[in-house]
Amino acid sequence: MPLIHDKRVSETSPVTSALRSFFSHFDPLLLVPMLVLLAFGIVFVYGTGQQVGGVHAEVFWKRQIIWVSIGLCLWLFFSFFHYKYLGPASILLYAVALLLLGLVLVKGIGVVRFGARRWLDIAGVSVQPAEIAKLAVILLVSWLLSLKRFPVNNWKTLLLLFVLLAPCAFLILKQPNLSMMLTLCTCAFAIVFCAGFKWRYLLIGLIVISICAPVGYGMLRPYHRDRIRVFLNPDLDPLNKGWNQRQSEMAVGSGRLTGKGFMQGTQSTLGYLPQTVSNSDFIFPVIAEETGFVGASFLLLMYVLLLIAIFRTALNAPDEFGRYLCVGVGTVFAMHSIVNIGMSIRLMPVTGQPLPLVSYGGTFMLASLSYLGIVQSVYVRRNRNIEE
């Protein structure tokens, strides 16, 4: 007697197939750290607001949830959007970024905070055009160097890249935002290096930079030089320019092994680490104080896994454009996380570098999740035909 063939057993339902196809789109090595870091950010932005108290402080974590929600939508969009179309689109994005950077410097249009003019107020929302410019430069440089008519070691190509990079770098420096300008240049250089930049040219460039360094130091603004001096000599101005970094060190050290407990960190609770920085540039000391060495190490592990996922995708990218994009994105996350944590434990001078996916902020959050969406787009096409 023949066996009865049950289609319900042998065939996968369309819904199951669709769900399997949907979730196979994502790289778990990237997705898990990303979600964990976003959760860290929401929880501790909430904690810093509650510690200080007041409606104005409490509203930050609610805004953070909104930014994360919008950012996840962007991440999902770019994950399914084919990254190859971002190359030509980067020309328009670059032009828009230059326009916005120019508007920032116009008195009455650009918003001034803490002595810097870095934001635009658009429909009641603060936008930082420098983040848009950074994304535009990564896309444009990656796309140009992926084209065969722009060999990286050709002087015309290098001149073109300089002409494209210089206006953005200059306008960002005029805000002033030295750390953002250096991050922008570092990302562009990382892509150039990945494209096969010759070592002898690299050595020549390093020699030139070393020779020009003293001149560059003299051209820094006074508060930039003060930060460097305070970094080298912590006792130079402990109650003013060195205050935040000193309180940050105390917060990290006092967390010990397991921390003081959520919302029990005294440096932030008592206002020694000001609320204006405790939820943004100095959120890592808050996390380290409340969760200790264990929590801080876990946070670092998430960043390590995230970077491994990004650079692994770069190695497996189906074309040069995808590879260069991932290298640029990986450089952004590496620079921000290393510099932010480094300044919190006095390994680096204080700069305005937020901690990716954790620090409070809108434009950088949206840009960061867009970056990771682009990496996902490269990841899902790693085994597919380039002409797809």
Domain range list for the chain? 27-380
* Residue 116 CB-density burial (10 A; 0-12 exposed, 13-18 middle, 19+ buried): middle
Residue with more model confidence, 136 or 26: 136
The edge-to-edge listing of strands for the beta sheet with 110-113 is 110-113, 116-122, 125-127
Between 173-177, 291-295, 307-311, 333-337, the lowest mean confidence (pLDDT) is in 173-177
Per DSSP bridges, beta strands 125-127 and 116-122 are: antiparallel
pLDDT at 387: 43
Strands (E), the chain: 110-113, 116-122, 125-127
Which amino acid, 228? I
**Inter-residue contact 323 to 192 (CB < 8 Å):** no
Q: What is the pLDDT of residues 87-118, one digit of tens each?
A: 999 999 999 999 999 999 888 788 887 777 88
pLDDT at 388: 46
pLDDT at 23: 65
Average pLDDT estimate for 31-53: 88
38: its two tokens: 């976003």
pLDDT at 15: 64
pLDDT of 1 above 50: no
Query: Which residue(s) pair with 121 in the sheet?
Result: 126
Residue with more model confidence, 25 or 165: 165
Average pLDDT score over the chain: 87
Residue with more model confidence, 307 or 242: 307
pLDDT at 351: 85
Q: What is the pLDDT of residues 181-217, one digit of tens each?
A: 999 999 999 999 999 888 888 888 888 888 877 777 7
Q: What is the pTM of this model?
A: 0.90
Which amino acid, 311? F
